[in-house]
Structure 1
């Protein structure tokens, strides 16, 4: 009896184990069983989703900055990076980006279309005076004009008229007068802004003190900025009430106010938040519940200030040595590779800086943490620039990579790192320290660590030598201890 060539059960097994071919591109993949087939299909789909999703996140973040001004060059950079057509349809993604930025409460961001005349604006390559590298920069041949460049949103001023108050101070042994102007900063103006926030939560701090309240070292920062940047307006935005008028201030304060380009403005919360993306955000509640209420209030207010007025923001624990205009616009400073500090920031009111300011406030709104020291200050600008530049490596955050923004090298503002802050107070190391800061535009003195360390006026301490050179009027009138 001849056995059948194939038993029925054997046929079923053969069918189950039949070869399945899945063609992906030009490469056939052979596997056995439906389960393996499904697994491979899912893996391929997951791979494609991850690749597409990562590319979309990176390119969308870059597109926000590239499209912010509808600038033809910036748009071309974005489109080239993403291999997108530069035809008429290339404008459509930019329109979508501008629509997506209109997520503000109560009409804060109305008429947000940002337009810069591309015939007047182009990119040029130049050698950066700070880094020595070729940088790509946006150049606008016309002066800033509000009517020609509608902002992401339109900051509104308080409408309070400027006032003046006369002070009498000593100038080379003679009494002199100066009319000190109290005036709100002008958006888009060439200016440097300082914040004194010690009374932002409780004005009773100033109840027993007369005049304008600011520490001699803070007054030195303002005076050194005014001294080395005579063509810029230097604003001190203060929070403590001035009891008895400016005339009751200590002599070192009057010396700070004697510089003709120094102006004052009283900052009051919550009014200061009106018309900004944080107007409905519980600033007082968040800050009061923080472990570091005053530092965190300063962290938040610096970004609000740059959103409202643009220009340069700097901390009060600096001594400035060189004109800041040489650094250009739209920058932060590297504290070290991998970390961006927020003690010196420049945001303009048109291009990269405007978008960066907007994103910084959004980051604070979403990521504020009262239990973290740096989460709401340096970490904010670090996160924003990592997304805008598409890299976490600070040394790669150039104007070319960040579409007009830059992170300046450590030597510009933070050549004395915070672990080495004592160098500024040790007279035996002053010669070495002064050589170290020779190329710096500003020297950060790390008030968080150094505030209790004395500087004896007339000593050889490096901090004292810097103050004697760049804020001499304040330094010599601060008493025996600076």
Structure 2
């Protein structure tokens, strides 16, 4: 009998009871169906691969995988053979829950959340992630990663207080770091900008758009390439896409091509992370015996999860 067919669950602690500290944290957030009545949560193989890659490359950091919920009752996490492989290999991964309303009490966004404006968003899940990733970094410090980012090297190479450029016009919020000193003050300013100009109808306006607006003021330029060349904007850093987002979203299909080229390996050779854009690439079938870039990355950077995959990623 396969473990996937067993009813085996882990009860999730609340993050406030397992408090992160010292900015030595990596946060992943799952917001899927946060308004559902079902208390059982799960993660797919690609998400688990990204989580493992972060744990493997950063063994001294605490990896928090956070499920945001509107429920007051406890959540449980469905255990699969892939998850068992992860938990039996790494001791620095913690799966926790976060209560949507209770977590914001006595924070800069309490009034905004209680007003119900976020709940009215046409992009409720995406905007919830945009808002709460900042709040987590404001409270605890550390690094936020999307659950489709594969980490290839220690995040220490990126330093502190940074976001990553996507192009000469855009800064991403898929990878963020703020410490509890300078970063604490800056992330509060970012949150204030976010809630002051919150738009319920525009998808990226409250996420990457916030950083673009803040950094234009901080760096005194609208050109993201100039922000990267400046190295620091009053203590904050806009990292080159070559370091953390080497493959842009419009080229994401190349990650899943059945054969990958030396050119692709060269593109990512000096990068710390690779974003694989699950939101737009989930339709790409991945066979573990195919020579795609994604399979090569998974084999090397999430080996425990990879070993449990029967055929398809």
Taking structure 2 as the reference length, the TM-score comes to 0.87
**1:386 corresponding residue in structure 2:** 216
Q: Is the 8 A contact 1:430 1:460 kept in 2?
A: no
Q: Distance in 2 between matches of 1:307 and 1:341?
A: 18
Q: Displacement of 1:401 after TM fit?
A: 4.9
SS in 1 for 2:290: coil
Q: Is the 8 A contact 1:187 1:349 kept in 2?
A: no
2:234 maps to 1:403: yes
Q: Residue 441 of structure 1 is aligned with which of 269, 272, 278?
A: 272
Q: Quick one: higher RCO (CA 8 Å, sep 6+), 1 or 2?
A: 2
Q: Distance in 1 between matches of 2:190 and 2:147?
A: 21
Q: Distance in 2 between matches of 1:463 and 1:372?
A: 31
Q: Distance in 2 between matches of 1:283 and 1:368?
A: 14
Q: Distance in 1 between matches of 2:91 and 2:261?
A: 32
**2:36 corresponding residue in structure 1:** 202
**1:121 corresponding residue in structure 2:** none
2:139 maps to 1:305: no
Q: Distance in 2 between matches of 1:298 and 1:342?
A: 10
Q: Distance in 2 between matches of 1:290 and 1:358?
A: 22
Unpaired stretches in structure 2, ≥5 consecutive residues: 4-11
**1:427 corresponding residue in structure 2:** 258
Compared with structure 1, are the counterparts of its residues 228 and 470 closer, same or farther at alpha carbon in structure 2 (3 Å cutoff)?
A: same
Q: Displacement of 1:403 after TM fit?
A: 1.5
Q: Distance in 2 between matches of 1:281 and 1:376?
A: 13
SS in 1 for 2:64: strand
Q: Distance in 1 between matches of 2:157 and 2:179?
A: 15
Higher gyration radius (CA): 1
Q: Displacement of 1:432 after TM fit?
A: 3.1
Q: Displacement of 1:373 after TM fit?
A: 1.2
Q: Residue 126 of structure 2 is aligned with which of 278, 283, 295?
A: 295
Q: Residue 321 of structure 1 is aligned with which of 152, 156, 161?
A: 152
How many residues are paired up? 295
Compared with structure 1, are the counterparts of its residues 234 and 397 closer, same or farther at alpha carbon in structure 2 (3 Å cutoff)?
A: same
SS in 1 for 2:111: coil
Structure 1 segment 58-457 matched on structure 2, within 5 A: 184-204=18-38, 206=39, 212-239=41-68, 242-243=75-76, 249-258=79-88, 259-282=90-113, 285-351=116-182, 353-397=183-227, 401-457=232-288
Q: Is the 8 A contact 1:334 1:340 kept in 2?
A: yes
Q: Residue 299 of structure 2 is aligned with which of 468, 472, 479?
A: 468
Q: Is the 8 A contact 1:421 1:445 kept in 2?
A: yes
Q: Displacement of 1:366 after TM fit?
A: 0.8
Q: Is the 8 A contact 2:63 2:94 kept in 1?
A: yes
**1:150 corresponding residue in structure 2:** none
Compared with structure 1, are the counterparts of its residues 400 and 468 closer, same or farther at alpha carbon in structure 2 (3 Å cutoff)?
A: closer
Q: Is the 8 A contact 2:232 2:238 kept in 1?
A: no
Taking structure 1 as the reference length, the TM-score comes to 0.58
Q: Distance in 2 between matches of 1:221 and 1:400?
A: 28
Compared with structure 1, are the counterparts of its residues 250 and 401 closer, same or farther at alpha carbon in structure 2 (3 Å cutoff)?
A: closer
Q: Distance in 1 between matches of 2:184 and 2:296?
A: 37
CA RMSD of the aligned region, Å?
Answer: 2.2
Q: Distance in 1 between matches of 2:231 and 2:253?
A: 36
Compared with structure 1, are the counterparts of its residues 374 and 230 closer, same or farther at alpha carbon in structure 2 (3 Å cutoff)?
A: same
**1:18 corresponding residue in structure 2:** none
